[in-house]
A and B are shown apart, each in its own frame.
Chain A
Amino acid sequence: MWLPIFGLLVGITLGLLTDIKISAEYANYLSIAILAALDTLVGGIRAHLQNIYDEKVFVSGFFFNIILAASLAFLGVHLGVDLYLAAVFAFGVRLFQNIAVIRRVMLTKWSLFKEKTEKN
């Protein structure tokens, strides 16, 4: 539970400490990639809570989603269609759904835990 959060903090500090900057043209792609990564992460957490977690699916989904989102944005820029909006929409909807599922699972777990403690 705490290790991934620690990893997140490590990643943020690393990013802030290093002097890497991305030019404005590629900031769009990075934002889409971040959205895809967040979606994958939340999806992974949900799968973990539902006990259907598969590492292969998770890791492959992470990279595949990022690449797909970035390439979709790229294609959109070159076709003059705001295709990145599709990615934003899809990932956004999924993000919310996943978070909702996580909330429900947590709620049921919590109520079960409460019942157990009451029985004891």
Chain B
Amino acid sequence: MKWKWNRYLVAKKIHRTKESLVTLLKKRNKIAFTLIAVIIGFMVAIQYKTIKEPSIKQVRDTRDSYELRSGILKEQKVQTELVQEISNLEEKLAQYDTTRSQSKEQILSETLEELKSEAGMTEVSGKGIILTIKPIEENILLGENIPNASPELLKRLLNELYLYDAKEISINGQRIITTSVIRDINGQTKIDGKSVSRGSIEVRVLAKDAKKLKERIQVSPTIDNFYVDNYEVTISNPLDKVTLPSYQNSLNIQYMEPIDE
């Protein structure tokens, strides 16, 4: 009986050790399995992420031309804004400079000078031509009476010159201004109250395009009209420098008054 019991116990022990061994083995198996499962899960996750969120390099590569264009546009806008800012600042700087250099007095005196030269109070010189009006010598030799150069003709000539873009005109050293008058006083042709000589009359004309002016006046009928009056008009070639004197009389302003402020 005892022997049997012992055998049973031994068998039980052996069985237990076997069982524990198996469980141990199973556990170890499970641990290896688990570790490898962890590694596989890790790899899968990384692969998933790699495919789902491509790296920055790839993002740059996949930008198509429209995206690139819009990017360029954006940068260009920024650039234009910056350039505008720069120009604005430079403008301001220039403004400050001008306001500093140009005080009110300076501006006033400059304007005065401008107005004076425009009104003919200053001597001017520039490109132009010189017209010389002379009595025809043959007629003098024949004993014909030489009349005055008629004011109508002179006015006509002046108007025509102005029509052909003449800027400034002087006749025999007398500057013609807006209020100049040419008229016959007791058989004498007078400009602004000063008589024009019976001999040759010199008309100096300033013009931007002297050549054109000369060509135009050469074919004008006024020259022929002078010829009818026994006067001959010679036109000089365009000159680089023609000097006109200033207006000598004082300007008599009758109807203009400064406004009281």
- Which residues of A are interface residues toward B (Cβ below 8 A)? 3-16, 20-24, 27, 30-31, 33-34, 37-38, 40-41, 44, 48, 53, 55, 58-59, 62
- Contacting residues, chain B, for A27 (C-beta < 8 A): 47, 50-51
Contacting residue for B32 out of A9, A14, A15, A58, CB 8 A: A58
Closest to B47 in A: A30
Chain B residues with CB below 8 A from A6, complex form: 34
> A4-B30, A34-B43, A53-B29 are contacts. A23–B57 as well, Cβ < 8 Å?
yes
A21 touches B53 (CB 8 A): yes
Asked if B42 and A12 make an inter-chain contact with CB atoms under 8 angstroms apart, the answer reads yes
Q: B25-59 interface mask toward A, CB cutoff 8 Å, 1 = contact, 0 = none?
A: 00011111111111111111111111101110110
Separation of A40 and B38 alpha carbons in the complex (Å):
14
A-B contact count (CB 8 A): 106
Interface string of B6-24 (1 = CB under 8 A from A): 0000000000000000000
Alpha-carbon gap, A33 to B34, bound state (A): 18
When A3-B34, A6-B34, A44-B33 are in contact, do A21 and B40 touch as well, CB less than 8 Å?
Answer: no
Residues of A within 8 A of B30 (CB): 3-4
Interface of B is mostly: helix
A107 to B53 alpha-carbon distance, docked (Å): 41
Supposing A4-B30, A15-B46, A27-B50 touch, asked if A41 and B37 sit within 8 A by C-beta, the answer is yes
Number of B interface residues, CB 8 Å? 29
- Tell whether, in the assembled complex, residue B32 and residue A11 are in contact, meaning their CB atoms are under 8 Å apart: no
A3 to B47, CA, bound (A): 23
Interchain CB contact under 8 A, A14 and B42: yes
Tell me, rounded to whole Å, the shortest Cβ–Cβ distance linking B22 to chain A: 11
Q: A3-B34, A12-B42, A24-B54 are in contact. List 5 more A-B contacts (CB 8 A).
A: A8-B37, A8-B40, A11-B40, A15-B41, A21-B50
**Contact A40-B36, Cβ < 8 Å, known A11-B42, A14-B41, A34-B43:** yes
Q: Which of B34, B46, B50, B58 contacts A7 (CB 8 A)?
A: B34
A58 to B53, CA, bound (A): 33
Q: Within the complex, which residue of B36, B45, B53, B54 is in contact with A37, where a contact is CB–CB below 8 Å? A: B36
Complex contacts, A3 vs chain B, CB 8 Å: 30-31, 33-34
